[in-house]
Structure 1
Amino acid sequence: MNTKDIRALDAAELSAKLVEFRKELFNLRFQHATAQLENTQRIPAVKKVIARILTVQRQRELGA
């Protein structure tokens, strides 16, 4: 999910996506800890999406 897609979402959808990606990150970390994760590059990708969502939320909060 790129920044353009994130900016197109409204506040409620953005919050829902944030919860969804945080759950996915939790599951990925759990799979990694139990040696069941095949694609380890998904963890940093999900972290970046979470950071993008938080950045867009903060920008909207500040009115930028």
Structure 2
Amino acid sequence: MKNSESLKEFQKLNSAQITEKIEQLRKDLFDLRFKQATRQLNETHKFKTIKKQVAQLLTISKSQSASQTTSD
């Protein structure tokens, strides 16, 4: 259920907010990789959730840009 809620929240964002959120999630993913390399990471499940959120945001971003292109 949480994933569908976050997806609904993502769909409400505009393109600038989506870009900002993607950058933040990629930074978080980098930090997780760094923690994993230094053996400080305990929550390995976060890799999957963050990567999934990035993919969802990219999909929403592309669909928004495609709808803007067709409406113009």
TM-score interval for Structure 1 and Structure 2 normalised by the shorter chain: over 0.9
Unaligned runs of at least 5 residues, structure 1? none
- Quote the offset at 1:62 in angstroms: 1.2
Structure 1 segment 11-26 matched on structure 2, within 5 A: 11-26=15-30
When normalised by structure 2's length, the TM-score is 0.83
Match of 2:62 among 54, 58, 63: 58
- Quote the offset at 1:55 in angstroms: 0.3
Identity %: 33
Moved over 2 A (4+): none
Distance 1:58 1:9 in 2: 13
Distance 1:31 1:9 in 2: 30
Instruction: Letter of the 2:47 partner, please give it.
Output: I
